Amino acid sequence: MRTPALGLTAAFALTAPFAAQAKPPADLVIWGGPIYTAVDAKPKVDAVAVSHGRIAFAGAKAGARALVGPKTRVIDLKGAALFPGFTDSHAHLDGIGERELTLNLEGSRSAAEVTARLKAYLAANKPAGLVDGRGWIETGWPEGRFLQRSDIDAVAPDQPVLLHRADGHALTANTAALKAAGIDETTPAPAGGQILKGPDGKLTGMLVDNAMGLVTKLRHPPNEAERLAAFKAAFRVETAYGWTGVHSMSVAWADVPLLEAMAKRGEATLRVYNMVDFGQAGPLFASGPRATPDGRITTRGIKMYMDGALGSRGAALFEAYSDAPGLTGTLVTPPETMRPVLAQALAKGIQVSTHAIGDRGNATALDLYEAVFKANPAAGKAARWRIEHAQILRPVDIPRFKADRVIASMQPSHAIGDLHFAPARLGKDRLKGAYAWKSLLDTGAVVVGGSDAPVERGAPLIEFYAAVARKDLNGFSNPDWHPEEKLSRAEALKLFTASAAYARFAENDLGTISVGKRADFSGFSVDLMAAPEAAIPKGHAVLTVVDGQVVYDTL
């Protein structure tokens, strides 16, 4: 159902006469641990109270106690810490659910382990037809290479198998899948894609970026029941992690009404902000932004792709990869294709999010945005367009985000994962503009935090830790990784709360613990603002509240 002019972002204000009246009992009161508001003027309170899904009180415990009535639910945090609802500002909700329901290769420590997991999966499930898996990444593998078709052929010589790299920008197909798709050594790589070959000229099975489309015909589109199961699984996972909202990227248009129907049935326990795949965005351009009456599902933007990923050497660079002379990555969407889409989006009030990882990819995306904004300056100032990842930037391009009012949507865990291979890909000098959260914030740019799950695990405490520590989960880093780019805890908190709300045009409703805002809260076993760095990722969610409704609770 469409909400005219996105009424979800209208401010909820308490008038002075109302505030002066005796308040009725609250529906929910929470106290018993530190409560952080993400409001600079009042960063911490002792208690919060909720009425009709909105925050009715935030302050001293005595004030909250006065709002406790016979039907009020009172939650004692038992020392846990409460925060404004954490939002994952970049994730793929369908992929998170699919990860729970299919072959998950996360954490595989070698190509041999991938093979072993595949073998066990085939034996346990005996799937018919194509087998899909995801989550492998070759960083640190003893084989020192990408996954190859020969690895898969060893346990699946006849059944087609596609195993996606964790970043979602490459996959390895076994011989049976390549044959079924009609791919051989003479097949030309499509624009914006690569078909990798070994030194002998034979296919390795690795397909990068747009080349993955060559095997799309092998996969049957999931039916509605399968998509519904994936979203239900994703909601369970995300709320158990402590997320109250997700900005979901590259959404298939058919999933928009599916999610809206889930909200109507009361099944959407998470607040979802959809960015539709631009190739399927025709209906959004026709209807304009839309939202369900309860605000759980909002669809306002489109997702585009400028380049590929760093790990698979698809990120577009100005100079060649340090570990692959002559290779500069790929622009997966030609600028001439993007220009008319961007102009139409600006005219229609559609927010644009563009994936850009390499320095050339980011500079090109900024160039395109600037050209469109120049033609319509007023609309450009209000657009709040985003660049997703903004991973590798030339220092000269960092101030352009603030100047152009472009939001940098970044994923802190990428930095602590990539530090083990990015120096080899980029060399020392290009690391100066890599994962430059602090430099962007210091210019006045808006930076929001996400996880890119299922590319990464998707846990908010890992993301927060990465932002404030800039070390891997074992505590490793080095001076070349520019520790000066790490954030203060107050800055990191806003990445996932206040700034995340701004990035979806909802700063009047979400993002801080303030009277009148929607009652979205995330409670964690660890005090993110005071605990030692190493303790942060070892914590877990204990309470997740959306619109005053408890959707996850272990207290």
What percent of the chain is modeled with pLDDT above 90?
90
Contact in structure between 456 and 95 (CB atoms under 8 Å): no
Contact in structure between 135 and 166 (CB atoms under 8 Å): yes
Question: DSSP state, 392?
Answer: B
Chain segment 7-46, per-residue pLDDT in tens: 333 333 333 333 445 689 999 999 999 999 999 999 999 9
Cα–Cα distance measured from residue 34 to residue 42, given in angstroms and rounded to the nearest whole number: 13
Residue ending a domain, choose from 199, 218, 237: 218
Give the closest residue to 50 by CA, choosing from 24, 76, 70, 32. Answer: 24
pLDDT of 488 > 80? The answer is yes
- Confidence band (pLDDT; 50, 70, 90) for 168? confident
pLDDT of 494 > 70? The answer is yes
Q: Do 43 and 103 share a domain, yes or no?
A: no
Q: What angle do CA 520, 521, 524 make, to 5 degrees?
A: 160
Q: Do 101 and 75 share a domain, yes or no?
A: no
**Sign of torsion over alpha carbons 45, 50, 53, 54:** negative
Compare 104 and 547 and report the one with higher pLDDT. Answer: 547
Chain segment 43-69, per-residue pLDDT in tens: 999 999 999 999 999 999 999 999 999
Tally of domains within the chain: 2
Pairing of strands 351-356, 386-389: parallel
Classify residue 521: in a domain, yes or no: yes
Q: For 446-453, what is the mean pLDDT?
A: 98
Q: What angle do CA 171, 239, 441 make, to 5 degrees?
A: 75
Classify residue 202: in a domain, yes or no: yes
Classify residue 379: in a domain, yes or no: no
pLDDT of 5 > 70? The answer is no
Classify residue 140: in a domain, yes or no: yes
Q: Do 81 and 140 share a domain, yes or no?
A: no
Instruction: For residue 82, give the H/E element and its range.
Output: strand 81-84
Q: What is the DSSP string of 222-280?
A: P-HHHHHHHHHHHHHHHHHHTEEEEEEEEE-TTHHHHHHHHHHTT---SEEEEEEEGGG
Cα–Cα distance measured from residue 238 to residue 244, given in angstroms and rounded to the nearest whole number: 8
Residue ending a domain, choose from 218, 248, 277: 218
Q: Do 137 and 52 share a domain, yes or no?
A: no
Chain segment 351-363, per-residue pLDDT in tens: 999 999 999 999 9
Q: Residue with structure tokens 């009535």?
A: 69
**pTM, rounded to two decimals:** 0.88
Q: Is the peptide bond before 34 cis (omega within 30 degrees of 0)?
A: no
Q: Do 23 and 104 share a domain, yes or no?
A: no
Contacts of residue 456, defined as CB under 8 A and 6 or more positions apart, other chains included, come to 166, 411, 413, 414, 417, 462
pLDDT of 205 > 80? The answer is yes
Contact in structure between 272 and 296 (CB atoms under 8 Å): yes
Q: Do 15 and 74 share a domain, yes or no?
A: yes
- The whole-number pLDDT of residue 23 equals 81
What CATH number is given to the structural domain containing 192? 3.10.310.70
Q: Residue with structure tokens 């954030």?
A: 487
- The whole-number pLDDT of residue 22 equals 67
Give the closest residue to 32 by CA, choosing from 76, 88, 72. Answer: 76
Question: DSSP state, 49?
Answer: E
Q: Do 131 and 214 share a domain, yes or no?
A: yes
- The whole-number pLDDT of residue 145 equals 94
Q: Do 132 and 155 share a domain, yes or no?
A: yes
Residue ending a domain, choose from 193, 218, 243: 218
Classify residue 537: in a domain, yes or no: yes
Classify residue 355: in a domain, yes or no: no
What rounded mean pLDDT belongs to the chain?
Answer: 94
Q: For 505-515, what is the mean pLDDT?
A: 98
pLDDT of 106 > 50? The answer is yes
pLDDT of 439 > 50? The answer is yes
pLDDT of 113 > 80? The answer is yes
Other residues' Cβ atoms within 10 Å of the Cβ of residue 261: 15
Q: Do 169 and 210 share a domain, yes or no?
A: yes
pLDDT of 365 > 90? The answer is yes
Structure tokens at 146: 């990408």
What CATH number is given to the structural domain containing 546? 2.30.40.10
Q: Do 211 and 100 share a domain, yes or no?
A: yes
**Per-state percent for the chain, helix, strand, coil, to nearest 5:** 35, 25, 40
Q: Do 146 and 189 share a domain, yes or no?
A: yes
Q: For 123-135, what is the mean pLDDT?
A: 92
Instruction: Give the three-class secondary structure for 546.
Output: strand
- The whole-number pLDDT of residue 220 equals 84
Classify residue 147: in a domain, yes or no: yes
Chain segment 369-394, per-residue pLDDT in tens: 999 999 999 999 999 999 999 999 99
Residue numbers of the domain that contains 172: 96-218
Cα–Cα distance measured from residue 272 to residue 245, given in angstroms and rounded to the nearest whole number: 6
- The whole-number pLDDT of residue 139 equals 83
Instruction: Give the three-class secondary structure for 510.
Output: coil
Q: Do 106 and 73 share a domain, yes or no?
A: no
Compare 116 and 14 and report the one with higher pLDDT. Answer: 116
Classify residue 300: in a domain, yes or no: no
pLDDT of 227 > 90? The answer is yes
